[in-house]
Structure formats: C-alpha cells, structure tokens
Structure 1
Amino acid sequence: MAFDYDLFVIGGGSGGVRAARVAAGEAGAKVALAESSRYGGTCVIRGCVPKKLMVFASEYAPMVADARAYGWEIDARGFDWPAFRGKLEAELDRLEDIYRKLLAGSGVETFDQRARLVDPHTVELADGTRKTARHILLAMGGWPVKPEMENAEHAITSNEVFHLETLPQSMLIVGGGYIACEFAGIFNGLGVEVTQYYRGAQVLRGFDDEARGLVSEEMQQAGVDLHLGTNVIAMEKREGGIWVKATNGTERVFDQVLFATGRAPNTADMGLEDAGVTLGRRGEVVVDEYSQTSVPSIYAIGDVTDRLNLTPVAIREGMAFVETVFRGNPTPVDHVCVPTAIFTQPEMGTVGLSEEDAREQGPIEVYCTSFRPMQTSFAGRPDRVLMKLVVCAETRRVLGCHIVAPGAGEMIQLAGIAVKMGATKEDFDRTVAVHPTMSEEIVTMRAPVRKA
C-alpha cells in the first residue's frame, strides 16, 4: 500500500516537533504534523518558558531590599503587569515562529488543525481531509483538569494564568504539586496576597520529605498563607470576586482562584480506542519501552503517555522513536535518574531516589546540611538552604541528590551527571570544593546525619 507520508505526527509540542524535524531533516522521511493550537505546546506556550520568565520577574522584589543592605540606594516603584505581559506574549510569539520555521526548514508539512485517528494508518483532519501514513506518532500532551464541583468554571488553570488582564490583589491557589507551589511563589513575589489550599499533609508529594518540608517552610516565611489538609467545598461568583468555603470552615472572597489540581493526557475524542490503541486508567496511551502502542504502526511520546511528564524527557522519547523506527536502531527510553528542577522559591533540584524510596531498597546513609547562605544572610534575611546526599551503605553509590536553594536547578544539572554515572560518596569527597559557594557543601559533608 502506498502511503501519503512515512510519518504523521499529531501534536506540535516539544516532543512531536523534535521527532518530526529529525525524522524529516536527518532520516529523510516524508513527514506531516498537525497541531490545533499553537506550536511549542505546553512548555513553550503554557508552561516552562512563560512560567520561568514569571519566576524571574517575581524574584526582583527581595533583590531591592538586599541591594540596600549591600549599600545601594535603590527605589522600586512597583510591578507593571501589563508591561510585563506584553513582553511575555511577544516572546512566546517569537518562539512559536521559531518552531514553525524549524519544521518548514526540515521539510515537514504542517496542518494547523485538529487531527484524530481513523485506523492504524489513517488520520482525519478537522476539515474532513484524510491522510495516510506508514507510522503515526501521538504527541498531544496533557491538559489541566479542574475538580468536578459546582461553579468550577469561575476558576482558572495554569493555561489561563499567563493571560490575566490585571494582576489580582488576592488569589487562592488550590493544589500542592509543583505547578501550584511555583505559582504561589510567583504571585506572592509579584505582590499578590496568596493563599494556598492543599488537601494533603505536605506539599510536593513524591519528592524527598526533608527537601519539600524546607520548601514549605520557606514559602510560608516569604508570605504564602499555606493551609495543609484543606480543600475547597463550595465556591460561587459574588460581587467583589469569588467566594470560597473551605473544609477548615473558613469563608472568604478572592479576586482570583487558580486550580492546580492535576493534568490529564489529551486523549479524549481522538479515535484512539476505535483504532485499537490501549488506554490506561487515567486515559494515558499505554506504550512499551520503545514508545510503541498496542497498534504496531502507532507510537506515542510525551505527557500523553503519562510516564515522566517533563519536556526534556518528551524530546528524548522523540529522538529514541526516530532512532528505533527510521534508523533501524531499537532504542529504549531511559527514565532512570532524570534530574529535574522545581521553580519554587526557593528552588528545588533533585535527581535519583528520595531518602524514603532509597530506604525501601536497602541500608542507606544520609548526608545533609541546612544553613543560611552568605548572600542573603549578610542582607539580614533568614532564608535557609539544604544540600542532601542519599548513599547506598553497601556500594557507597550516591542514590539521590537533593538541593533546596537559589539556583538549585543549575546545580542539579551538573550533580545529575555524577549521579547518573554512578559516582560514589568517596568520588564526591575527592572533589575539591569551590569556595565560597553554597554548592561546596555537596563535597564537604563527611559524617552521615543518620543511617537507615
């Protein structure tokens, strides 16, 4: 059978675009890609990039006070949200244009419309046109979900948060994951009165307990009104804002409510099950280690598979897919020891196992220190940072590294190389410290604080 394309990609996010570009530009395949929204996907348009720019903006407020402590005469006249938002939107437009040009330059044919599966080799575009392909790659990503409750439509999600017309005076953020905690820090830094509700006992579930505990403490010290074990039970639009009743009995009106209560794979009404593609309990596309679905001609990468929902991982999965399918070199995706950063304030950088997970695998030693860093201590701020290594007691291999500090994301990238290579605690000890830095503590901790 003759196909229209060697590969048809559904989804123009980071993973889908990378797979399409490499398959067409380097592997010589005839490739098409369909995207119903903006090119760049969650990361570029609704996630990592605009969020990080907002983090940068929000971190300038304490810098002004710090500068005065260091002898500078500086006055801040307040934050101009419309001016910032205009520059932010212009930057996202620029990045989307780059994505479009990269696809065009690689010879990828693009369709700016929704596509859904018809059968294992056919997709149907929104205008009714059908295209066939030898291989189909699902890269539709994920989408924020709101809790099923009355009047939930009055709240926003992380999709809309970048496009607020005005900066609210007060905001309730519901959730305790990294998205909720990052936006709590952002809006608090921009001068918004931030309240955060999380139904769990501690924020950032799944991360190292000690590290997330410090993040929680520092968030509250910075001004975030965090309520743990608390959830929303009722809300409605009222004059002056959105009235919210919480499980702790409080009732309050907020200018804005942000639900950051989870994301779901973008698989609804895609024709996947009719085409034979197996979906998991949360609607995720079930794939094997080579990103192949239950249908041999259909593969899936990125958040739609709900494996490890990180942009660089989706890109790696896209590259492995091309290597497997178009270069005849079966390449499984490596999801082990992936370093990641959470852009809370302070940041958290982590790679490998948490202390809790490592303890379940066997005897461990924990090396940890928490202290006031030089820069902010001199300025009179009480901020604390944390450096932590989790070490296998038998092999001496560093199983996990956890950093809570300004710039933790930059530090964990480099520490991640050592942990991925299997470095031992003695390898860390043999490394000369860079002084005076916060990160030198990673190589100067000599005695374990506990064993388990």
Structure 2
Amino acid sequence: MGPVSGTQTSVVIVGGGPGGYEAALPAAHLGARVTVVEREGVGGAAVLTDCVPSKALIATADFMDRFSAAERIGVHFDDAPGDQGVTAHLPEVNERIMGLAGAQSQDIRGKLVAAGVEVVQGAGRIVRPGLVEVATGVGSVESGEEPAPSGAERAGQTRSLEADMILVATGARPRVLDTAVPDGERILTWQQIYDLTELPEHLIVIGSGVTGAELAHAYLGLGCRVTLVSSRDRVLPGEDQDAATVLEEVFRGRGMEVLNRSRAGGVVRDGDEVVVTLVDGREVRGSHALLAVGSIPNTQDLGLEESGVVLSESGHVVVDRVSRTSVPGIYAAGDCTGVLPLASVAAMQGRIAVAHALGDAVAPLNLGRVSSNIFTDPEIATVGVSQADVDSGKVDARSVMLPLTGNPRAKMQNTKHGFVKIFARKGSDTILGGVVVAPRASELIFPITLAVANRLNVDQFASTFTVYPSMSGSIAEAARQLHSTETD
C-alpha cells in the first residue's frame, strides 16, 4: 500500500523497543519514510535487559528443575544415584543470556533495515511538534551493533528530523528507593543482575509483583537461598487470588522464605552482606538484594511538556485508545504511557498509532482482549475479566475452577499444582475471561483468548475437539461445566 497523501509521510519514532520497532514496520509498509531513534540498542530494554534476558534466565532454572524432579518419575543417573550434582555456572549462564538478547536485537534491526527503516543511534528530543533533534552517538549499544562511524552520526553531533508524525516509545526504567541505592554489586536492580559472576548465597528480593516473583523463582531454581519480601498480604497482589495462593504455596514448599506484610524500609551494605531493614524494625541479612519495586517512565528531557504534551502525576504520557497525546501529530506507546506494562500491549499501541496517523484501518486498543503471563513455575496466564470483577459485581458472570490434579496429561508430567478457571456471562454464556495456572500456561491461554476476542459461548468452545490426553482437555471440560440448562 502506498503513502496516504501525494507526498511521502515522514515518521520519526523515539525509542526502539516493542512499541517503536513494531510501529516502524507497518509504517514503512504503508509507504512512510521512517526513522527510529534508539539510545541503547534496537529492541530497547525489553530485549536487552528486561523481558528477553529474564525469561531466558527462568528457562535455565526450569531446565535445572527437571533434574531435581527426575527421581519422582523413576529416572536415575547411573553415576550419582540420588544426587544429580547439577549446578549453575552463572558467568556462562549470563553470557548465553546476553548473547541471546544481542542476537534478538540484531534480528530486529535486520528486519527494520530490510523494510527501509533508518535506524539512528542517539538520544531524541522533541524541539516542537513536527521536529525531533537527535544527539547522535549518545548511549551504549549493548546488542553488538556498531555505531555509525562518521558524518552526522559521529558522537557529539546533532541531527534534526522533520516529522509529520512523532511516536514516543521510550519505555521505563527500574524504580529505586532513596534508602536502597543500587551499587551494581550486591544491591541490584533487575537490569544489573546479568553482571553477577557468581550465584548469590542468599538473595533477598524486595517486591512481590510480577518481576519480583519471576526472578525469585528463577534464582531459587538456580540453587540460591531466596527470601521474598512482600509488603502485601500475599505475593502477586494484583493477580487472581486463587492463582497467587497456589504460587505462594509452591514457593514455600520449595524452600523459599516469603515474608508477607513486610515493607522494606532500606537496604545497606555490611561487608560481604546486605542488611534489609523492614519498617517494623526487623532485619533480614543476605548476600545480595534485588530491588523489584516498580518502574519509572522515561519521559524526562524529551521536550514533551515544552511541546504541550500532557503527562500524568506519575510522569506517564497521557494517551487515548488510538495512542494520541494531547498534541496533534505526537503519539506515544508502551511503558512510557502506563497503560499496561506488557510488550504485546506496547507493540499494539505502536501499530495502532501509525495506522491512525497514516489513515489505515484501525481499531482502538481493547484491553479486555489482552492475555498476559507470569513466567513462574507453574506459570500464571490470564485474559479478560477477573475474579475481582465478578466478586465486586462489576461483571455479572458465572465461573468454574477445575484443578489439574484430575487431568491425565498432568499426572503423566508429574504436575501437582494448577487449575483452569473460565468466566462466562450469565444468560448468554459468552466467555468473558479465564485464568490458567499450569506449566506452559502462556500457550494454554491462547484458546481462551480466541474465545474472548470472538465472543464465543461455552457450548461453542466445549464442542471443539481437543487432543486426548492434553492439558487443553481441562479447558474444554471447564467450559462444559459452565453449560447452562433451562433449570439452572
């Protein structure tokens, strides 16, 4: 498809993460002249320091867990019966992880270049609507990309980019505490853990949200002693309560110490130890502390407020459902907007933005169809309405929760924990959402997401064939149990 107008539209994207690069590709396809400005490396933090590395770390821990579970399914190792002797060599683990991240970054860059997108390393700033100034050569390229060697791209130079459309997709960074300043050695953010050269003897994870829970799970699986400090009544306070309860039971059963209702007041170094002081006066000592206490949007020094773009009190860019800011021609996507901190949502926001700006067919962002996953063991995947929506009366729905303990495939795989939960609207029996707690829940949530997106009812869903034996059989069974009759 060619450009919308008679002249080629210019699109400048500040930020090369999922919200940026996923917008650049359709913009180029629509005939626009597209420039992506990225400070650190193509793929942004999601690829280089956050999502890709953390999930690779978790995959390593899960691989090790297979050995610890071997004897439970009758598998023994001839050389060392009863003691597999499996250990994680962290430098090698981290080298592989960062290599994967760099390779993914290069793959994305290759796709952009092949589509005709220009990639500029540097820091972008909006001078005014329609003009972005780039300080080229700024930042460190962690993906292995070489900075442009000469001319306007030389470090210390500036470049002005005229733009019919500007998309801000600058992401977010780890939040830190004034009383817990990271030193990159023993007090760490989640972006610094890949510099560790040895496994922590005792890792204290501060924060029990998604990031804290995932990394606590990963290091427990790698063989560390782990203490999880949670300021709330349970881990994952924003997630399905039944799912969070299962995960907390699994954590404790595997030896993790979980401190609920325990807010951290500060963290200090004490020689080769760290001391975490809780607000109630208790102290927790360990070898390392990991801060997982939220994130801060990267919206400073971008010229946003000077250009008239409205920011929220938290510093996020305020956008509507087609990613428009308060200034015509300036859009925003991803974690810098605070809509929902998921790479998939950032990518959708970016695609919606360019479709809207370039006059292509577009549907506003619908968060009710967003599926998400927490990569613990078991994984927790959700889509659509929540149990809290139903319990509060916000949604008039029935639900069925089916434990996986009766699933034949779960028995074969020695799966002891997990369930499937489906929500259906009363009367029409339309599927409104679901929760899956299971190994590979990130894959199992997809059929429920399809049902929610296409407004299928429980009978349509349940009448679709599933493989026997399979985990997906429990999803269909849950839908069958939601079948309503005239006497219901």
Same fold (TM over 0.5): yes
- The aligned residue for residue 263 of structure 1 is 295
Structure 1 residue 447 displacement after superposition: 4.8
**Residue in structure 1 matching 2:127, options 118, 121, 143:** 118
2:143 is equivalent to residue 134 of structure 1: no
Give the gaps of 5 or more residues in structure 2.
Answer: 1-6, 78-83, 136-156, 483-488
2:348 is equivalent to residue 316 of structure 1: yes
**Residue in structure 2 matching 1:192, options 219, 224, 230:** 224
Q: 1:264 and 1:218 mapped to 2: Cα distance? A: 31
AA of the residue aligned to 2:168: L
Question: Is the CA contact (8 Å cut-off) linking 1:137 and 1:299 kept in structure 2?
Answer: yes
AA of the residue aligned to 1:434: V
Structure 1 residue 439 displacement after superposition: 3.0
Q: 1:390 and 1:34 mapped to 2: Cα distance? A: 43
Question: Is the CA contact (8 Å cut-off) linking 1:142 and 1:304 kept in structure 2?
Answer: yes
AA of the residue aligned to 1:407: R
Q: 2:199 and 2:8 mapped to 1: Cα distance? A: 49
- The aligned residue for residue 49 of structure 2 is 46
Structure 1 residue 437 displacement after superposition: 2.6
Equivalences for 1:48-447 in 2 at 5 Å?
48-74=51-77, 75-126=84-135, 127-149=157-179, 151=181, 153=183, 155-359=187-391, 360-372=393-405, 383-445=416-478, 447=481
Structure 1 residue 378 displacement after superposition: 6.5
Structure 1 residue 256 displacement after superposition: 1.1
For the aligned residues, what is the CA RMSD? 2.3
Question: Is the CA contact (8 Å cut-off) linking 2:409 and 2:471 kept in structure 1?
Answer: no
2:32 is equivalent to residue 29 of structure 1: yes
Q: 1:419 and 1:4 mapped to 2: Cα distance? A: 39
Q: 1:150 and 1:95 mapped to 2: Cα distance? A: 32
Q: 1:133 and 1:337 mapped to 2: Cα distance? A: 32
Structure 1 residue 21 displacement after superposition: 2.6
Question: Is the CA contact (8 Å cut-off) linking 1:233 and 1:246 kept in structure 2?
Answer: yes
2:21 is equivalent to residue 17 of structure 1: yes
Tell which deviates more after alignment, 124-133 or 369-378: 369-378
Q: 1:258 to 1:374 in 2, by over 3 A?
A: farther
- Output one character per residue of 1:171-212: Cα deviation in whole Å (capped at 9) or x when no partner: 011112111100011000000111001111122223222122
Q: 1:102 to 1:303 in 2, by over 3 A?
A: same
Question: Is the CA contact (8 Å cut-off) linking 2:17 and 2:170 kept in structure 1?
Answer: yes
> Residue 146 of structure 1: SS of its match in structure 2?
coil
Give the gaps of 5 or more residues in structure 1.
Answer: none
Q: TM-score, normalised by structure 1?
A: 0.92
Question: Is the CA contact (8 Å cut-off) linking 1:15 and 1:314 kept in structure 2?
Answer: yes
- Output one character per residue of 1:55-81: Cα deviation in whole Å (capped at 9) or x when no partner: 111012331133333343323431221
Tell which deviates more after alignment, 212-221 or 74-83: 74-83
Give the percent of matched residue pairs that are identical in Structure 1 and Structure 2.
29
Tell which deviates more after alignment, 330-339 or 231-240: 330-339
Q: 1:389 and 1:22 mapped to 2: Cα distance? A: 35
Q: 1:198 to 1:129 in 2, by over 3 A?
A: same
Q: TM-score, normalised by structure 2?
A: 0.85
Q: 1:215 to 1:10 in 2, by over 3 A?
A: same
Structure 1 residue 428 displacement after superposition: 3.3
Tell which deviates more after alignment, 217-226 or 432-441: 432-441
Task: After the TM superposition, list the runs of 4 or more consecutive aligned residues in structure 1 that deviate by more than 6 angstroms.
Answer: none
Structure 1 residue 377 displacement after superposition: 5.4
AA of the residue aligned to 2:52: V
- Output one character per residue of 1:267-326: Cα deviation in whole Å (capped at 9) or x when no partner: 012111001111112111111222111110111111111112211222222222222222
AA of the residue aligned to 2:431: V
Structure 1 residue 86 displacement after superposition: 1.6
Structure 1 residue 261 displacement after superposition: 0.7
Q: 1:5 to 1:36 in 2, by over 3 A?
A: farther
AA of the residue aligned to 1:19: A
Q: 1:362 to 1:168 in 2, by over 3 A?
A: closer
- Output one character per residue of 1:25-51: Cα deviation in whole Å (capped at 9) or x when no partner: x12211212111121112211222212
Tell which deviates more after alignment, 46-55 or 346-355: 46-55
AA of the residue aligned to 1:119: R
Q: 1:375 and 1:212 mapped to 2: Cα distance? A: 23
Q: 1:413 to 1:162 in 2, by over 3 A?
A: farther
**May I ask how many residue pairs the two structures share in their alignment?**
445
